[in-house]
Structure formats: structure tokens, C-alpha cells
């Protein structure tokens, strides 16, 4: 079932098209990933979906309703975790959660119960009496998420929730996202960390320069470069003429070398191991390792744009 539908969305700031005619849909119960480098248009897309920005063109539907017709009604169903820490540093963790809960209409015992529950989810139960300014970066990020969970939103929109934190807090957040999704929460997750999106997301939209350049499940995306698998051969010394010998193998599309490593890009799914090994065995140098590179979203992005995700 489609929960959220983005249709031909466009957002321009003066002469810059931050988002340029994108279309996708988010199904109920899935973790939908928006992957792309900084400046790809992910945060602008999230800002429009969360009704913070009006689109220049296009529409966003939530359960079939245009979100800009009655944004306040939609906002009750959404939880937004902004990219920046959006908390009051001089207030205690508890006071922050109480305020954000109040804004969503939570009161009394129900509010206390929810504060207790979300603090438990993000692992900050024993830190609520501390002022936020005394929290570590990771703790602030977790409280930032907790504030968006108080009103039990139907859909949680997370904009780069792990930026600039330690690996431990990062793992905690990723586990939390999976746990929330397991309980039925639909999540839109934006990141420029390919590994996070790969780990978490059911379906992924890869964005670049304001456009969706690929959309699908991880397997579907990886299939785009199925025929472009890579094999890395590491030698003590690269034998002379080996590069030329490898190039003549029919299935090999490209041969490259770096230090003592030869990188082969294959034309299709056939790995042509026998031919490769024949050529290698005919040399006097000893091979140290053979590494078959599993296709990644990073490789997909590289294939589609010619640039690395972190460029």
C-alpha cells in the first residue's frame, strides 16, 4: 500500500534547481532510502515532504491526500528527525521531550509514559535529568530521534541522522531504526553513507544533482552493474606483459593496475576464471590473493555518474 507519493516534484532557489522533477512512492511498512552525495537534493526533498518548504512544482500525497491542502493534519502523522540537532541545549533531556510531546498534544500520564518509552528506545533513560548541552554528540542525536517518536508517528522521516557521531552511537541509531520498522513504522531515511542505506533500506532512490537517477530494491540497483563486476588480483610483483595478456580475454572489459594490484572489470556475469587463471599461472610471479568485489551501491553510483558518492 502506498503511504506517500511524490509526483514530479521540483524546487528551485533562484537559478538553482535543488530538486528537479522527481517522482517516487513510499510503501507502508518499508524503509525507503534516499541516497546521494551532499547537495544531491535529499534534504530539500525531505523539507518539502515534511511541509517545511513549498515545492515550486509537483505534488506530494499522503494516503492519497495532497499534503499542502491541510498540512497540520498530516504533520500529526509524521515524525521528523532533522539533520541538525533541533533541541534546547539549556533544558534537560526530559524538559525537551516534554515540550515536543506537548506540541503534539500529549499531556499528563500519557506524556510521561511516552517519554519513558522513547527514552528507552534510544537508550537515554538514565540521562533525562541532564541538560542537553552536557550530552555527547551521539546522545544529542539519539534525543533528536526520541523527540520525533513521542507521538507515535505513522511515518518517520530521518534526514542524515548519523552525521558526525561515534560508531557506537551510530550502531545504536541503526539498530533503533530497524527495531522501529520491525514494529510497523514506515521510515524515510536519507544518507550519503552507502553502507547505512544498504543495511537498512527496503527500497532505495539514488539522487544526484536534484534528480532520481536510480530507484529500486538493493538487488535491483546492483543488477544495473551486474555485468561490471570487478576482480582484484594482488601480486608480489605484477608480471611483465600480464596486463596485455589479460586484456585479450573476451569477457574482460577493462584492465587497470595500481601498485601490485590488477583490477579487472568484467563484461557480464561470467567471471571467466579459467581464462584468467591460465594467464596468471603462465607467469613467474606469485599471486597473493584474488578478491571478487561484491557490487555495491557505491559502484552503482560510480557507474551512473562517473563520480564516487563522497566526491
Partner 1 sequence: MLSVIKLRLLKMKQEYPVILFLTLMALGLTFIFGKSMGEYRPSVIVVDQDNTEYSQKVIEKITEENPYKFQYMNYDDAISEVEEYKSIAAIVIEEGFEDSIENKNSPKVGILKIKDDLDSITLKNALESNISRMIGDIRLSSVIVNELDKSINIENKEKTFDSTYKKISEAWKYRKPIKVTKDFIDSSGEGFDQMNHALIGFSIFFSTYTMVFGIGTILEDKQNNTWSRMLVSPVSRGKILGGTFITTYATGALQLIVLIFGGKYLFNVDWGNSTLGILTIGAAFVFAVTCFGLLLSGIVKTHQQLAAMTPVILTSTAMLGGAMWPLEIVNSKIILFLANLTPQKWAIQGMEQIVTYGKGFNVAIIPSLILLLMGSIFLSVGVFVINEK
Q: Which residues of this chain interact with partner 1, rule CB under 8 A?
A: 50-52, 72-73, 75-76, 78, 80, 82, 84-91, 95, 99-100, 102-105, 147
79-109 burial: b if 16+ Cβ within 10 Å, else e? bbbbbeeebeeeebbbbbbbebbeebebeee
What is the rounded distance in angstroms from the CA atom of residue 206 to the CA atom of residue 294?
A: 19
Q: If we measure between CA atoms, which residue out of 89, 171, 20, 153 comes closest to residue 161?
A: 171
- Nearer Cβ to partner 1 (16/73): 73
C-beta of 70: minimal distance to partner 1 in Å?
11
- Nearer Cβ to partner 1 (90/286): 90
- Nearer Cβ to partner 1 (87/118): 87
C-beta of 136: minimal distance to partner 1 in Å?
18
What cell does 217 get? 530494491
C-beta of 64: minimal distance to partner 1 in Å?
20
- Nearer Cβ to partner 1 (105/282): 105
C-beta of 111: minimal distance to partner 1 in Å?
11
- Nearer Cβ to partner 1 (91/263): 91
Pinpoint the alpha helices (H) of 38-189: 42-49, 71-75, 93-103, 108-121, 137-149, 167-182
What is the rounded distance in angstroms from the CA atom of residue 262 to the CA atom of residue 230?
A: 10
C-beta of 73: minimal distance to partner 1 in Å?
8
- Nearer Cβ to partner 1 (86/199): 86
C-beta of 203: minimal distance to partner 1 in Å?
24
Q: If we measure between CA atoms, which residue out of 300, 98, 101, 63 comes closest to residue 198?
A: 300
Cβ–Cβ under 8 Å, residues 38 and 57: no
Amino acid at each position: 500500500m502506498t503511504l506517500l507519493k511524490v509526483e514530479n516534484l521540483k524546487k528551485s532557489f533562484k537559478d538553482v534547481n535543488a530538486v528537479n522533477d522527481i517522482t517516487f512512492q513510499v510503501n507502508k511498512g518499508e524503509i525507503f532510502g534516499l541516497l546521494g552525495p551532499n547537495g544531491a537534493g535529499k534534504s530539500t526533498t525531505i523539507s518539502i515532504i515534511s511541509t517545511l518548504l513549498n515545492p515550486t512544482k509537483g505534488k506530494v500525497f499522503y494516503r492519497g491526500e495532497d499534503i499542502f491542502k491541510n498540512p497540520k493534519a498530516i504533520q500529526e502523522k509524521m515524525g521528523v528527525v532533522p539533520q541538525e540537532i533541533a533541541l534546547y541545549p539549556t533544558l534537560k533531556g526530559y524538559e525537551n521531550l516534554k515540550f515536543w510531546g506537548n506540541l503534539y498534544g500529549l499531556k499528563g500520564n500519557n506524556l510521561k509514559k511516552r517519554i519513558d518509552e522513547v527514552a528507552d528506545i534510544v537508550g537515554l533513560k538514565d540521562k533525562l535529568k541532564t541538560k542537553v548541552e552536557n550530552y555527547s554528540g551521539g546522545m544529542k542525536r539519539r534525543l533528536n530521534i526520541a523527540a520525533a517518536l513521542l507521538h507515535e508517528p505513522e511515518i518517520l522521516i530521518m534526514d542524515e541522522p548519523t552525521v558526525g557521531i561515534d560508531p557506537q552511537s551510530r550502531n545504536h541509531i541503526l539498530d533503533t531504526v530497524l527495531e522501529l520498522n520491525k514494529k510497523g513504522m514506515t521510515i524515510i531515511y536519507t544518507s550519503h553513507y552507502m553502507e547505512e542505506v544498504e543495511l537498512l533500506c527496503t527500497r532505495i532512490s539514488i539522487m544526484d544533482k536534484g534528480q532520481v537517477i536510480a530507484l529500486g530494491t538493493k538487488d535491483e540497483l546492483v543488477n544495473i552493474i551486474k555485468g561490471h563486476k570487478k576482480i582484484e588480483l594482488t601480486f608480489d610483483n605484477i608480471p611483465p606483459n600480464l596486463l596485455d595478456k589479460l586484456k585479450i580475454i573476451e569477457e574482460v572489459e577493462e584492465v587497470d593496475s595500481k601498485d601490485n594490484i590488477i583490477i579487472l572489470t568484467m563484461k557480464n556475469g561470467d567471471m571467466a576464471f579459467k581464462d584468467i587463471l591460465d594467464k596468471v599461472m603462465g607467469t613467474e610471479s606469485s599471486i597473493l590473493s584474488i578478491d571478487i568485489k561484491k557490487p555495491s551501491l557505491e559502484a552503482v553510483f560510480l557507474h551512473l555518474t562517473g563520480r564516487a558518492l563522497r566526491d
